[in-house]
Amino acid sequence: MQKILFVCLGNICRSPLAEGIMLHLKEKHGLPLEIDSAGTAHYHIGEAPDHRTIANAAKNGVDLSKLRARQFQVSDFEDFDRIYVMDTSNYRNVLSISDQKQHHAKVRFLLDVVFPNQNKEVPDPYYGSEKDFEAAFQLVYNACEALRLSLV
């Protein structure tokens, strides 16, 4: 059973989107995965994903309504096999929480699954428009689909 954690800043836009898409793919393909998401910040702990993220994902057939935000914690390095971050700031924040090499080795950029070693970011749609939420969905969906295929 692979344990995968997705991380962004607020845990209300990009990482719950990745969690919901991966849960959707898990159900569709019967994958032996444990999936969760977290934010490096504490602003939105306990909240549902942003209503625009929920609406856009629903339009694309993915339900995020039951997810709730939590903050990334040091025990996540032990509890998960892989930790996928959305951007450089998340990457630095996550690494700064531990100085152990085996912890750091679990942390990757999500889009590196599609664009290896490029450290590309999933742009934060929080201050954007519907177009930005749709772009985030497509980027994250393609990365999760590639991740699923890489796990087989």
Binding site for ligand 4NP (CB under 6 A): 8-14, 39, 43, 124, 126
Could you tell me the smallest distance in angstroms from the CB atom of residue 76 to ligand 4NP? 16
Could you tell me the smallest distance in angstroms from the CB atom of residue 136 to ligand 4NP? 8
Residue with smaller CB distance to ligand 4NP, 25 or 86: 86
Could you tell me the smallest distance in angstroms from the CB atom of residue 11 to ligand 4NP? 5
Residue with smaller CB distance to ligand 4NP, 72 or 77: 72
What lies within 8 Å, CB to CB, of 137 at 6+ separation is: 17, 56, 57, 60
Residue with smaller CB distance to ligand 4NP, 128 or 146: 128
Do the strands 2-8 and 82-85 form a parallel or antiparallel pair, or are they unpaired?
parallel
| CA distances (Å), origin 72, targets 10, 103, 141 | 10, 13, 22
Give the catalytic positions in this structure.
Answer: 8, 14, 124
